[in-house]
Structure 1
Amino acid sequence: MNTRVLLPAADGATRAYTPRGEPLPAPAGGPPLASRTVFAAAHVVADPRADVTPDGPAAVDWDATLAFRRHLWSHGLGVAEAMDTAQRGMGLDWPGAAELIRRSAAEATAAGGRIACGVGTDQLTLPAGLPRVRAAYEEQLALVESVGARAVLMASRALAAAAASPDDYLETYGHLLRQAREPVILHWLGPMFDPALEGYWGSADLDAATDTFLQVIAAHPGKVDGIKVSLLDAGRETALRRRLPQGVRCYTGDDFNYPELIAGDEQGFSHALLGVFDPLGPLAATAVRALDTGDVQKFRELLDPTVALSRHLFQPPTRYYKTGVVLLAWLAGHQSHFTMVGGLQSARSLPHLARAYELADGLGLFPDPALAAARMRSLLTVHGVPQ
């Protein structure tokens, strides 16, 4: 039996890697986490047998997609649905996202799981003026509220293109917050995740943008559950967190610095809404349960070693992190194939995927390391790296 995997390097060479023999002990599931509110932004599973084109509507394997969400809920995590991890605007269009929201919300009700769903403007064709931007947001907000999910007001490419000043952001978000039935999560997604969002909140100066962001929150007390910050800057997130009004949560979206931000300091901490918690789900839940008992050291011991994997998955161009996330889901046995909507499985190089496998295996993320190794060998063989 082959007990090693020949991994390719960026220079074209190969090296032998010996996978771990046994997985880590399987974490027990449990009720929702107590000390932090934690959402894993979940990926969608493509239907590999569908006859589709990269620019056509996505074909989703609904059974596998919903089974993965039940996996996350079983460990006490919430699911952040139809976010950028689910390839919103990168393979999944609004009709597909709307169906995903409906199905996942129904599944959350059946499973007793926490769910928040992305509200955006991706049904628009650009350019679009501010009235159409508001109407698009309203359409999506109405759907999310109708299924009983928490709304996440996502950053909008259309708004970034249409807004002429910070006042346009204040007016647009104010309009939406006034009509929201329940408090929402505001999402600030940096341009490393989507270059079209450069200058969001009306300025490329992050200090000025932060002031506008905080103005939106302050003007609508009781309408903002929290903010989700994805700027990959721990210092900036901490400073912003300390300026939030009482009762408004900060959900870290920093896939580079999440252990320190979730652990927090003497002045507070961040909750979490993270794409990397898709592959890290059970381990992340175990770590946060340590925080529930006040054991910060155990939390850091469990989660700090995962940062190397996360930084690898989210390396530039950061928006293609989804490819590594889906690779790990396939290797872990959560789906039967490595195919993505929009053909995005081709967005990362073979050496990049090989390193993701090696780092994940070293962390013990695969319930069946032998299956993961066999699948990685098959992928490498198909791509010209004989095993």
Structure 2
Amino acid sequence: MTSLLLPRSDGGFVEHELAAPGNWPEPDSPLRTRVAYAAAHVVPRTLGENVPGAPADIDWDSTLAYRRRIWSYGLGVAEAMDTAQRGMGVGWAQAAELIRRSAAEARAAGGVIAAGAGTDQLDLAGLPAGRSGLDAVLAAYREQLEVVAGSGATVIVMASRALAAVARSAEDYAEVYGALLDEADAPVILHWLGPMFDPSLTGYWGSEDVAVATETFLEIIRARPDKVNGVKVSLLDAEHEIALRQALPDGVRLYTGDDFNYPELIVGEGADHSDALLGIFAAIYPAASAAIQALDRDDPDSARSILDTTEPLGRHIFEAPTFHYKTGIAFLSWLNGHQPGFSLAGGLHAGRSVPHLAEVLRLADHAGLLLDPDLAAGRMRQFLAVNGVRA
């Protein structure tokens, strides 16, 4: 087998022998026991001006091909979420085009798609305070909701930086979300993104006390449970998620967004389990599909074993500062040949160090997720050389 000398964070090196990829068959029928979405990234155009401060220049062929691979494994795609760099290189104009293109691709491929509606077309610096600010937030949400619903995708109501900036109480959140739910033509997914993913969302739902914020969140859902398909919660707190899951009204799903603790949350205990809407699933989609196929066969032990093998990779990719997790997902995509170059919109591929990314390769290999080890080894050698690494 192929071996590599990988750099460590202490300046030393470790020899790593690559293993064969895992056996990841595509399902021959739809997945049944869990609803699972992979929040997919976008591939930038290799020769585009994807530099800090510039709008994303997207490689549409590679971006949509990646989504077709996810659908082929029976998972849904969560489109235009934070993994797709919403507000971090991908603005609303690009996100709207991404949603329309991906939804059309989903129809052609028979894939499931949900997509994020937010308020990122607003200029936070010019946002008025008080009533006018809340009205501006509502108008922005309505514009984006119309695009997502019109595409045929399930609507994900994303957490809003603008609402976090103008809201002064839990009542402000309840008013905005209540209006949006009242107007929704079909049940939506509500998104709670923690400050570890986006510090500007600190104090969402009107309080930095998570217990208080959770009660406001639940009151909004309980007032209109028929309008809520589910909730996507990304707080990286398994105990909180389990308690919230058990408190939700009947019929409202909890889509885990916990990229640290997803194995225990997805497998769960019998009927008490989470569904999934995860950024890490964009990196581990073959294994994620295999785990759910095992659950469909009533084999939770195998499902848990598969997911447990991927958990160290998830914890590493999402380690603090967590908002740079997209770098690891794009790096693994490049190692596996899904994009022509290792890059991200806005220059965010520089968000992690060389030793960090070497560890991404090692942990992905341990999980059987280097689908072509020779290709991955060759690309890793190129990456180390261009970064001046000499063993």
TM-score when scaled to structure 2?
0.96
Aligned to 2:130: none
1:247-267: CA deviations, max 9, x gaps?
A: 000000001111111111256
Partner of 1:48, secondary structure, is: coil
1:36 to 27, 34, 37: 34
Matching of residue 299 in structure 1 with residue 298 in structure 2 = no
Aligned to 2:11: 12
Asked if structure 1 preserves the Cα contact closer than 8 Å seen for 2:309 and 2:366, the reply is no
Alpha-carbon distance, 1:279 to partner:
1.1
Asked if structure 2 preserves the Cα contact closer than 8 Å seen for 1:31 and 1:75, the reply is no
Q: In the alignment, residue 7 of structure 1 is paired with which amino acid?
A: L
Aligned to 2:314: 310
Q: Aligned equivalents of 1:286 and 1:37: distance in 2?
A: 14
Partner of 1:279, secondary structure, is: helix
Q: Aligned equivalents of 1:52 and 1:376: distance in 2?
A: 22
Asked if structure 1 preserves the Cα contact closer than 8 Å seen for 2:225 and 2:252, the reply is no
Once superposed, which parts of structure 1, at least 4 consecutive aligned residues long, lie more than 2 Å away?
A: 28-32
Asked if structure 2 preserves the Cα contact closer than 8 Å seen for 1:41 and 1:81, the reply is yes
Q: Aligned equivalents of 1:377 and 1:115: distance in 2?
A: 36
Aligned to 1:147: 151
Alpha-carbon distance, 1:49 to partner:
0.8
Aligned to 1:282: 286
Aligned to 1:238: 242
Q: Aligned equivalents of 1:266 and 1:80: distance in 2?
A: 26
Partner of 2:225, secondary structure, is: coil
Q: Percent identity at matched positions?
A: 58
Matching of residue 253 in structure 1 with residue 251 in structure 2 = no
Distance 1:289 1:335, change over 3 A: same
Partner of 1:117, secondary structure, is: strand
Q: In the alignment, residue 87 of structure 1 is paired with which amino acid?
A: Q
Aligned to 1:121: 119
Distance 1:334 1:30, change over 3 A: farther
Partner of 1:105, secondary structure, is: helix
- Unmatched tracts of structure 1, length 5 or more: none
Q: Aligned equivalents of 2:24 and 2:204: distance in 1?
A: 42
Asked if structure 2 preserves the Cα contact closer than 8 Å seen for 1:30 and 1:74, the reply is no
Q: Aligned equivalents of 2:64 and 2:305: distance in 1?
A: 31
Asked if structure 1 preserves the Cα contact closer than 8 Å seen for 2:233 and 2:257, the reply is yes
Partner of 2:142, secondary structure, is: helix
Asked if structure 1 preserves the Cα contact closer than 8 Å seen for 2:50 and 2:344, the reply is no
Distance 1:210 1:26, change over 3 A: closer
Q: Aligned equivalents of 2:50 and 2:384: distance in 1?
A: 25
Aligned to 2:328: 324
Q: Aligned equivalents of 1:53 and 1:308: distance in 2?
A: 31
Alpha-carbon distance, 1:29 to partner:
3.7
Aligned to 1:85: 83
Aligned to 1:221: 225
Q: Aligned equivalents of 1:239 and 1:62: distance in 2?
A: 40
1:351-362 equivalent positions in 2, closer than 5 A: 351-362=355-366
Partner of 2:26, secondary structure, is: coil
Higher mean C-alpha displacement, 9-18 vs 334-343 = 9-18
Partner of 1:365, secondary structure, is: coil
Matching of residue 208 in structure 1 with residue 215 in structure 2 = no
1:63 to 61, 66, 91: 61
Alpha-carbon distance, 1:305 to partner:
1.2
Alpha-carbon distance, 1:30 to partner:
3.3
Distance 1:82 1:120, change over 3 A: same
Q: Aligned equivalents of 1:51 and 1:121: distance in 2?
A: 25
Q: In the alignment, residue 19 of structure 1 is paired with which amino acid?
A: L
Matching of residue 272 in structure 1 with residue 276 in structure 2 = yes
Partner of 1:278, secondary structure, is: helix
Asked if structure 2 preserves the Cα contact closer than 8 Å seen for 1:46 and 1:341, the reply is yes
Q: Aligned equivalents of 2:276 and 2:45: distance in 1?
A: 29
- Unmatched tracts of structure 2, length 5 or more: 128-132
Aligned to 2:23: 25
Asked if structure 1 preserves the Cα contact closer than 8 Å seen for 2:27 and 2:293, the reply is no
1:172 to 164, 172, 176: 176
1:153-168 equivalent positions in 2, closer than 5 A: 153-168=157-172
Aligned length: 385
Aligned to 1:72: 70
Alpha-carbon distance, 1:39 to partner:
0.3
Asked if structure 1 preserves the Cα contact closer than 8 Å seen for 2:39 and 2:78, the reply is yes
Q: Aligned equivalents of 2:225 and 2:15: distance in 1?
A: 57
Q: Aligned equivalents of 2:146 and 2:49: distance in 1?
A: 32
Higher mean C-alpha displacement, 131-140 vs 261-270 = 261-270
1:264-307: CA deviations, max 9, x gaps?
A: 12561100000000111011101101101211111011111111
Q: In the alignment, residue 51 of structure 1 is paired with which amino acid?
A: E
Aligned to 1:94: 92
Higher mean C-alpha displacement, 236-245 vs 10-19 = 10-19
Asked if structure 2 preserves the Cα contact closer than 8 Å seen for 1:250 and 1:271, the reply is yes
Aligned to 2:2: 3
Partner of 1:280, secondary structure, is: helix
1:29-79: CA deviations, max 9, x gaps?
A: 433310010000001000011134321111000000000000000010000
Asked if structure 2 preserves the Cα contact closer than 8 Å seen for 1:255 and 1:276, the reply is yes
Higher mean C-alpha displacement, 145-154 vs 126-135 = 126-135
